[in-house]
Structure 1
Amino acid sequence: MTRRLHSLEGRLSLLLLLAGLGGVAIYIGVTEWPLPQLLAWLHADLKVGEAPPVRLGSVAGLVISVVVLLPMALWMASVVMSPVSRLLRALEGSVASYRDGDFSLSLVVDRRDELGELITMHNALGQTLREQRQHLVQRELLLDTVVQNTPVALVLTDGVGRVAYANIAARHLFNEGRSLHGLDFGEVLNDAPAALREAIEQGEDALLTVEMDGSEETFHISQRAFRLQGRPHRLQLFRRMTRELSRQEVASWKRVIRVISHELNNSLAPISSLAHSGAELARRGELDRLPGVFATIGERARHLHGFIAGYASFAKLPAPRRTAIAWTPFLDALALHCQFRLLGDPPSQPGWFDAAQVEQVLINLIKNAHEAGGPDDEVTLALQVVGRDLRVVVADRGPGMSETVLAQALLPFYSTKRAGTGLGLALAREIAEAHGGRIALANREGGGLQVALLLPLGGVRDS
């Protein structure tokens, strides 16, 4: 009850009650007592004889009551609305400060009514905004520090091509370390290599090698268009790939050397041992055992020859000779080399690829599917025309691949098999890309792996 009386509603109700009681008192005083008696006394005092009784009518009483109550009502309204008006002015100034990004203002008013609760909530809002602003400033500072010190050159341009933001790497790449802010990026690129300018004008991601400062530099360019504060902007990233590609090249050569060394040791060590054993058998005259020794040496030599030939075929992959391929004879020839189950009917449209190269790819993929460990009758081949591409899918029901293996399976010399060379899928990728297509690996729902080979149809993307 006490809290309700201290509320703004309680105060207003009390003042209205007092105003009503005051109006009733004034009306009674004007029409009943003491004003009529006072008027009668004055009349009797001023005139001779007995004074008649004086009474005002109800209309006159109401008029006099309104005249008396009006100033009182205005005064009471000013008393009630004064704190509200002050609070509204304070809130107006606070909101204006918030609009300008200043969240440091707090209101100090000692009230226990609804206005006090509003002030408390306002101050809590200001504190929250201050904390969020502080955190935002810290994150912006961290982000700017990271962006400014990244080796990737970053240039942000507005709708008319002027530089709105550029980090340190971009300033050194395009303007000898000087600021790029406000410059026309097209004019800045006038001194850049022509290949770099053309790649930027195309507006697409690109990987290109250009000559800069007397040496070749490889860049990966990423470009994205978006709207910032309702205005169009373009973000361009220039990443120097020369060192990264050099490291990858060295790492690839190291892998090649390790694989070749391992395979050579696995073949040369038995050959050396067998040669020594053959010489010992010949010395002792045990000639009947020599053919077996020579046969084993020949088998290891053929294995080593096949291994080296596989590397040579990967390194010297000829350009594909694409021709129209009829599906029935192609699939019949493929079935002579490997076992698979064809899903659906072949497309009515003939294929357009190098039959020998694609056949070798499919033989390797189907062989891998059988070696995955699933049922042989679950190794399937599906042919489907998707748009202007031919989609060839080889699938199995083996254990599939982990995410790590999926990410590296197409890299040359990467293999999870103890005796694997890591060239099968890499060779398949090279052949697919030479045809203007691509290859993709994915795990299947329910277990297994599917390898999708996408090839253009009818000479699409031929070059």
Structure 2
Amino acid sequence: MSGKRDLGIRLSLLTRWSALVGTLLTLGILIALALTRLLPDQPTLVVGICLLAVIPIAIITIRAQLEHMLSLFRALTGTVTSYQDGDFSFSLHWPQNDELSDLVGAHNALGQVLREQRLGLVQRELLLDTMVQNTPVAMLLVSDGGPIVYANLAARQLLHQGRRLEGHRLDAILAQAAPALVDAMARGGDGLFTTGEAEDEEVYHLARRSFNLNGRKHELLLLRQLTLELRRQEVQTWKKVIRVISHELNNSLAPLTSLAHSGAELVRRGQTERLPQILATIEERTRHLESFILGYARFAKLPTPRLEEHQWPAFIAQLKDQAEFTLLGEAPPDGACFDGAQMEQALLNLLKNAHESGSPADGVSLAVRRVQGLVRIEVQDRGPGMSDAVLANALVPFYSTKRSGTGLGLALAREIAEAHGGRITLANRDGGGLTVTLILPLQASCA
């Protein structure tokens, strides 16, 4: 139906109905006057004849007017019902230029907006479905305790040989899946798992998210294959390790070769007075190389923490015997569960870095605080701090801005923190310097 409005003279509903009522009254009055002249002595008969003449005309006229309006209301009801069913293709027409034509115009405009929104939504849904179906990440949407609601092509290929998964129960699909995936699902939460062996080994990352959809709990499962990315990263890491070790070995072996040659030449000449100095230098370079190799071995073979209860005052006193720092505030009176040797090693690395940053000795401080079920250990200095680029890479193994640095101090501290279920953060201080914060969870017990 056309949605165009009549552009003629505008008459409101009130004006039209007032004119109709006035016309009926005028007609009744004219009939009464005419009958009064014909029947001057019978007023009752005049009134009766007027009523018999005017009332049918009024009923017919008003009914005709109302019938058009009722048809419009029924049409409005039908289009609203169609809108509820998702059909926005209807529009209406009202011939009069009045308030009802305004209502019809607003109704048609609403339908046009809904049609455009529906078209845009369909296009976005098509785009989203195309992206989801063609992503290499396997996606599964599972209702709580019910069947699989949605699965993309990657999920079908990975779990059901390309066949549809919708309608199947997840436990039935997992019964045919790799045991590693079943174990990863049973553990709950996100994590990595490996399937296959040797050349057929594949590494996947499982991510799980829960949310409510249409009043029911659903879970979204994302399975991403990381084999190629991890292998590329592994190669890059090995290249970096080899470069660092090669650089350090060359820096140590070249002087050792030169010193050994010089010592042999002095012995040949019988000039042995400089031999103790040469041997001392060889010993110092050898110890440095040994320390370097042990640092890498320690980082690569970090054992699982052995949790024991430690009292902070005693632990900090032991730490103070090995490094210089100022204790800010008082240590928490309660004990904490951690691996004493590993935690001492991590904090000594952080304190050593603080002193090597160029900070004055009295500017290096340590604070231990208990905050909302966590323990925050802060090591602060008054050195130059770090640039944004250095902050972004400081925790990466083998990354170092020092000429003779191994890049393992902060990385080892992070490994120790994460092995205890915690984390480590870096931030520049106001007024210069750096704050390294080691955050540990409070263990309910050391078992």
TM-score of the pair, normalised by structure 2: 0.84
SS in 1 for 2:43: coil
Show the counterpart of 1:145. 130
Q: Distance in 2 between matches of 1:236 and 1:173?
A: 13
Q: Distance in 1 between matches of 2:184 and 2:156?
A: 19
Q: 1:132 to 1:274 in 2, by over 3 A?
A: farther
Letter paired with 2:52:
V
| 1:270-419 equivalence runs, <5 A | 270-272=255-257, 296-372=281-357, 377=362, 379-385=364-370, 390-396=375-381, 406=391, 408-419=393-404
Alignment match of 1:102 (pick from 63, 81, 87): 87
Q: Distance in 2 between matches of 1:324 and 1:193?
A: 40
Q: Distance in 1 between matches of 2:278 and 2:199?
A: 59
Q: Distance in 2 between matches of 1:373 and 1:11?
A: 93
Show the counterpart of 1:453. 439
Matched, 1:440 2:433: no
Gaps of 5+ in 2: 1-6
Higher deviation after alignment, 385-394 or 352-361: 385-394
Show the counterpart of 2:3. none
TM-fit CA distance, 1:272: 5.0
Alignment match of 2:20 (pick from 11, 15, 29): 15
Show the counterpart of 2:178. 193
Q: Distance in 2 between matches of 1:190 and 1:445?
A: 54
Q: Distance in 2 between matches of 1:86 and 1:159?
A: 48
Matched, 1:244 2:211: no
1:87-136 Cα offsets, whole Å, 9 max, x none, are: 32332232222222222223344543222222222222222222221221
Matched, 1:253 2:258: no
TM-fit CA distance, 1:159: 3.2
Q: 1:142 to 1:270 in 2, by over 3 A?
A: farther
TM-fit CA distance, 1:282: 8.0
TM-score of the pair, normalised by structure 1: 0.81
Alignment match of 1:216 (pick from 181, 201, 205): 201
TM-fit CA distance, 1:56: 0.7
Does the 8 Å contact 1:410/1:426 carry over to 2? Answer: yes
Letter paired with 2:247:
H
TM-fit CA distance, 1:294: 5.7
TM-fit CA distance, 1:426: 1.7
Q: Distance in 2 between matches of 1:193 and 1:413?
A: 36
Q: Give the number of the structure with larger relative contact order, counting CA–CA contacts within 8 Å between residues 6 or more apart.
A: 2
SS in 1 for 2:201: strand
Gaps of 5+ in 1: 40-52
Q: Distance in 2 between matches of 1:403 and 1:84?
A: 72
Q: 1:280 to 1:135 in 2, by over 3 A?
A: farther
Does the 8 Å contact 1:37/1:54 carry over to 2? Answer: no
Matched, 1:171 2:156: yes
SS in 1 for 2:136: coil
Query: What value does the CA root-mean-square deviation take over the aligned residues?
Result: 3.5
1:11-41 Cα offsets, whole Å, 9 max, x none, are: 2232233233334x24xx43xx3313313xx
Show the counterpart of 2:4. none
Q: Distance in 2 between matches of 1:325 and 1:274?
A: 48
Show the counterpart of 2:36. 36
Show the counterpart of 1:54. 41
1:276-324 Cα offsets, whole Å, 9 max, x none, are: 6777888899877776666555544433332222112212334544444
Percent identical pairs in the alignment equals: 50
| 1:58-73 equivalence runs, <5 A | 62-73=47-58
Letter paired with 1:428:
A
Q: Distance in 1 between matches of 2:120 and 2:382?
A: 51
Larger Rg: 1
Letter paired with 1:454:
L
Q: Distance in 2 between matches of 1:268 and 1:351?
A: 45
TM-fit CA distance, 1:424: 1.0
Does the 8 Å contact 2:138/2:223 carry over to 1? Answer: yes
Does the 8 Å contact 2:417/2:438 carry over to 1? Answer: no
TM-fit CA distance, 1:363: 1.3
Count, aligned residues: 439
Q: 1:309 to 1:83 in 2, by over 3 A?
A: same
SS in 2 for 1:232: strand
SS in 1 for 2:104: helix
Q: Distance in 2 between matches of 1:362 and 1:404?
A: 24
Show the counterpart of 1:50. none
